Amino acid sequence: MATIETAEKSANGANEILTYESVDISYDGLKVVSDVSFALHEGECLGIVGESGSGKSTLIRAAMGLLGAGGLVTRGDIWYRGLDLPDVPRDEMRRINGEEIAMIFQDAGNALCPSRKIGDQLYESMLEHGNAERAEFTENISRLLERLRFDDTDRILGSYPFELSGGMRQRIGIASAMMMNPKILLADEPTSALDVVAQKDVVEEMKIIKDVYHTSIIIVTHNIGVARELSDTLLVMKDGHAVEYGPTNDVLTNPQSDYTKKLISSVIGLKR
């Protein structure tokens, strides 16, 4: 398996912005992630792949303190700009989350209030992180929605969630995560609840984010095709362990782990 050092060689000398060092994560004393290390670099997209229950989502939720009841980083460190995130006080994490590290959830529609308009909900999220004039907010969010290929931004902001398709709601989730131009975007299975056409749209939107905003991204997915399309570096997880880690092309064309080989062979049309 590649180490952090070997994977760094593919990052074009970019600085590390988020680093996991020998991380263990447990729920109610039961270890679900064991001794995982990797680094995310500035402007890089890191893909985390593996079957359901392998610990993918748990890894990124740990960075934002979103493990929920009973979840705990029991060993190791998650470093962000000199801060060990599991030790950061809750109030400080409330500031970091959204402003500096943001997340796209698997089904963004479930995070939206069905009885409130999209624009009102996004504005309220912005207010949580400080004062924001409504006119300035509308101008900025409209510009972001246009970059994410929404045509009629006034209509979108004035719509209720149920008036939008699943793919459009997921793209609203991307816009919500990007409103404050965070340094890191964590995407937790952002395409799994979508049809093939909507998946393609979301992948294109995430490419825009990476290219235009130079955001560092971690995308968790069970879809090897999505990971190949988006990621520069790939981490393969199985049963809470990292079994392979390195530049995406190297991992997919010359896998070293038997599990990675099986994972690749299970995808129709993905040739090594």
Question: Residue 231's closest CA among 40, 53, 59?
Answer: 40
Would you say 25 and 72 are in contact if contact means Cβ atoms under 8 Å apart?
yes
CATH classification at residue 221? 3.40.50.300
Residue 271 lies in a domain: no
Residue 127, domain member (yes or no): yes
Establish if 147 belongs to a structural domain: yes
* Residue 157 lies inside a defined structural domain of this protein: yes
Q: Where does residue 37 rank: exposed (0-12), middle (13-18), buried (19+ CB within 10 A)? A: middle
Q: Domain limits at 101?
A: 2-266
CB 254 within 8 A of CB 272: yes
pLDDT for the residue 13: 57
**pTM for the whole thing?**
0.88
State residue 271 phi and psi, 5-degree precision: -105, 145
SS3 for 46? strand
pLDDT tens digits for range 194-241: 788 878 888 888 888 898 889 999 999 988 888 999 999 999 999 999
Query: In the beta sheet, which residues pair with residue 84?
Result: 79
* 49 vs 260: CA distance, rounded Å: 10
Q: Are strands 184-188 and 45-49 parallel, antiparallel or unpaired?
A: unpaired
Check residue 1 and give its pLDDT: 52
Inside any domain, residue 241: yes
* pLDDT value of residue 205: 85
Q: How many domains, in total, are found in the chain? A: 1
Longest dimension (CA), the chain: 55
Is residue 168, in this structure, part of any structural domain at all? yes
Q: Match 């520069």 to its residue by tokens.
A: 232
Residue 25 is assigned to a structural domain of this protein: yes
Q: Are 167 and 190 in contact (CB under 8 A)?
A: no
148: tokens are: 């994410």
Q: What pLDDT sits at residue 3?
A: 47
Nearest-10 Cα torsion for 194, 231, 221, 5 = -170
Domain presence at residue 217 = yes
Grouped pLDDT means (10 residues each) for the chain, 272 residues: 46 81 96 97 96 93 93 97 95 92 84 92 86 87 89 94 89 89 92 80 86 92 89 96 96 94 76 48
- Alpha-carbon distance of 77 to 24, in angstroms, equals 9
State the Rg of the chain over Cα.
Answer: 18
